[in-house]
Structure 1
Amino acid sequence: MAKAFASQGDMEEKKISFTQVGEGLYAFTAEGDPNTGVIIGDDSVMIVEAQATPRLARKVIECVRSVTDKPISHLVLTHYHAVRVLGASAYGAREIIMTDTTRAQVVERGQEDWDSEFGRFPRLFQGHEEIPGLTWPTTTFKDKMTVYLGSRKVEIMHLGRAHTAGDAVIYVPDQNVMFTGDIVEYHSACYCGDGHLADWPSTLDAIRAYDLDAIAPGRGDALVGREMVNAALDNTADFVTSTFKPALKVAARGGTLKETWDAIRAECDPKFADYAIYEHCLPFNVGRAYDEARGIDTPRIWTAERDQQMWNDLQGD
C-alpha cells in the first residue's frame, strides 16, 4: 500500500513550546511544525512568520499575551509559503514586511502554493475558512532594512538564496539573536522543493559569520548557545549537500528522476530518516535537486496536480 500523500496522515496535535531565546525574544515551536518568532520592543511587538491560518496564529498570540500586553505592530514574513503567511490577518499588524523577491513570488505562484500546501498539510489548515486571501506586504526591501521598536533595533536582511529565492532573516543586535526562517532547521528535514541548493551553503555561512548566541529556526527547537547554533548550521548544510550532490552525479551521466530518488535516499536515509517531515519533503526535494542539477535555475511552480504526480511517480508502489 502506498504511503499517505505528504502529511495527510499526520493529524495528531503537536505540543507547543514557547522558549525565550534572548531578552524579550521568543520562539514559538511545535514539534517540527512551522515556528514563529516574537520580538518585544519598548512599545510594541514584531512577529516573525504568521502561521498557516488565523486559528494557529491565535495560539501564537495567546503565548505572546502570556509575556506582554504590548500591541503587535509589525509582521515579518521570511518567504512566501502558505504555511508561513496565511494566518497574517489575525495579528492586526500595521506593517507586513517581506523582500521584493518574495512579493514577486506571491504574484507569480502564491495561489498555486496555497492550493498545493492545502493538500499537503490538512492538519495545519484546519479553520482555513477564515483566511481572507493571499497575504500582501505593506513594505518590501531588496537587501536590508532597519526597524526600530522604540530603542530596540531590528535588522531585516536578505543574505542569499536558500530555501527560496527571497529568504529574509531577522537579526536583533542587542541580543545577538537571529530568526532564520527555513534557511536553518533543527532535527527537521529541510524542504528544498523551491530551494536553491547550490547557493544554500554560502547563505548558511553568511549566517554563521554573525557568531550568534541563539537562533530561532524555521522548524524544530530553539537553538540557544553557540554550540547548538553551530551544530544546527552544520547539520542543515549537511542535509542540503547530501540532497544535491547525488543529484549532480546522476544528472551528469544523463540519469533519470527515479535514479536520483534512489541516490538521494541512499545518501540521506541513514542520517536523516528520523527527522520531522522527512518523508513528506523527500519527493519534492528530489524533484528540485534533479531540476537544479540539470541547470533549471528558477524552481518550477508546484501545483496540487504536480504534487500528486510527483508523489505517485516516486513514492508509490
Structure 2
Amino acid sequence: MAKAFASAGDLSEKKTSFTEIGEGLYAFTAQGDPNSGVIIGDESVMIVEAQATPRLARKVIDCVRSVTDKPISHLVLTHYHAVRVLGASAYGAPQIIMSDTARAMVVERGQEDWDSEFARFPRLFQGHEEIPGLTWPTTTFSEAMTVYLGNRRVDIFTPGRAHTAGDAAIWVPDAEVMFTGDIVEYHSACYCGDGHFADWGDTLDVIAGFKPRAIAPGRGDALIGETVGLAIESTRDFVQSTFDPVARVAARGGSLKEAMAAARATCDPKFSDFAIYEHCLPFNVARAYDEARGLDHPRIWTAARDAEMWAALQG
C-alpha cells in the first residue's frame, strides 16, 4: 500500500502546552506541530508565529489571555511558510514584522507554498475558509531591528540562511531567551525543502553564541537549560546527516531515488521516531540533491511538483 502523502494521514488532534520559559515569556507547543511564542512587555504583547489558520491562532490567543489582558501589538513571522503565517488575521491589526528576504519570498512563492502546504497538512488547515489571503508584513528589516514593549527590549535579527533564506530569530536580552523559528527543532524533523544545508551549521553557531538560557524552537518542546545545547547539536546532526549521503550520491551522478536510499541508511536509525520525519524526508532529499548539484536558490514547491516527487520517491 502506498504511503499517505506527507501528513495527509495525520488527522489526530495534538495536545497543546503553554510553557513559561522566562519571566513573561512563553512557548505554545503542540506535539510536533508548529510552535508559537509569546513575549509580554509592560505595555503590550508580541506574538512569534501566527499559526496556519485563525482557528489555530485563537488557541494561542486563549493561552495569552490566561496570563495577561495586555493588547497584542506585534506579530513577528520568522519566515514565509503558510503553516506559520496564515492565521495572522486572528490577532486583530498588530504590526506584522518579517525580514526583507522573507517578504520577497511571499512575493515569489507565497501562493504556491499555500497551495502546496494545504495538501501536505490538511489537519492544520481545518477552518481555512477564514483565511483572508496571503499574509503581508507591515514592517520589514534587512539585518536587525529592535522593538520596545514598554521597557522590555526585543531584538529581531537574521542570523543566516538555514530553514529558508529569510529566517529571523528573536532575542529577549533581559531574560536571555531566544525564539528561533525552524532554525532549531527538538525531537522533530527539520523541514529542509526550502533550506540551505551549507549555511545551516554556521547559523546554529550564531544562535549558540548568544548562550540562551531557554529557546522556543520551531517544533517540539520548549528548551530550558541543558536541553538548549542538546537541541542545537541534534539539529546540526540532522541537517548534516541528511546532506552528506545525498551529496555523495549526487557527486557520482546517482539518481534522486538512490539519494533517498542513502539518506535513509544514515538518518533512519537516528531520527525515525522524530515528529514529521517521514513527512519531511522526501522534500529534504530533493532539496539536498539540488544543492549538492549547485542549485543555490531552492526551487519553488507547487502542489503538482509535490505529488510528482512523492510518487517518484515512494514508488
Q: Same fold (TM over 0.5)?
A: yes
Distance in 2, matches of 1:92 and 1:165, equals 28
> 1:101 is matched with which residue?
101
> 1:283 is matched with which residue?
282
Distance in 2, matches of 1:190 and 1:243, equals 10
How many residues matched?
Answer: 315
Which string of whole-angstrom CA distances, capped at 9 and with x for unpartnered residues, describes residues 272-307 of structure 1?
A: 000000000011001000000000000000000000
> 1:15 is matched with which residue?
15
Which string of whole-angstrom CA distances, capped at 9 and with x for unpartnered residues, describes residues 100-141 of structure 1?
A: 000000000000000000000000000000000000000000
> 1:65 is matched with which residue?
65
> 1:310 is matched with which residue?
309
**Secondary structure of 1:154's partner?**
strand
Query: Is 2:292 the counterpart of 1:293?
Result: yes
Distance in 2, matches of 1:254 and 1:2, equals 28
> 2:238 is matched with which residue?
239
Query: Is 2:156 the counterpart of 1:156?
Result: yes
Q: CA deviation at 1:251?
A: 1.2
**Secondary structure of 2:273's partner?**
coil
Distance in 1, matches of 2:130 and 2:4, equals 27
Alpha-carbon contact 1:214-1:229 (below 8 Å) kept: yes
Distance in 1, matches of 2:81 and 2:94, equals 21
Q: Which amino acid aligns with 1:34?
A: P
> 1:80 is matched with which residue?
80
Alpha-carbon contact 1:164-1:196 (below 8 Å) kept: yes
Distance in 2, matches of 1:312 and 1:65, equals 44
Q: CA deviation at 1:93?
A: 3.6
> 2:121 is matched with which residue?
121
Which string of whole-angstrom CA distances, capped at 9 and with x for unpartnered residues, describes residues 141-169 of structure 1?
A: 01000000000000000010000000000
> 1:251 is matched with which residue?
250
Matches within 5 A, 1:84-233: 84-225=84-225, 227-233=226-232
For normalisation by structure 2, the TM-score amounts to 0.99
**Secondary structure of 2:110's partner?**
helix
Which string of whole-angstrom CA distances, capped at 9 and with x for unpartnered residues, describes residues 142-201 of structure 1?
A: 100000000000000001000000000000000000000000000000000000001000
Q: CA deviation at 1:230?
A: 0.2
Alpha-carbon contact 1:75-1:93 (below 8 Å) kept: no
Distance in 2, matches of 1:180 and 1:145, equals 15
> 2:47 is matched with which residue?
47
Give the fraction of aligned pairs with identical amino acids, expressed as a percent: 78
For normalisation by structure 1, the TM-score amounts to 0.99
Q: CA deviation at 1:252?
A: 1.1
Distance in 2, matches of 1:107 and 1:140, equals 14
Distance in 2, matches of 1:309 and 1:28, equals 34
Unaligned runs of 5+ in 1: none
**Secondary structure of 1:219's partner?**
coil
Q: CA deviation at 1:94?
A: 2.5
**Secondary structure of 1:299's partner?**
coil
Alpha-carbon contact 1:144-1:157 (below 8 Å) kept: yes
> 2:263 is matched with which residue?
264
Distance in 2, matches of 1:71 and 1:188, equals 32
**Secondary structure of 1:52's partner?**
coil
Unaligned runs of 5+ in 2: none
Distance in 1, matches of 2:256 and 2:184, equals 26
Alpha-carbon contact 1:21-1:224 (below 8 Å) kept: yes
Structure 1 residue runs of 4 or more that deviate by more than 6 Å after TM superposition: none
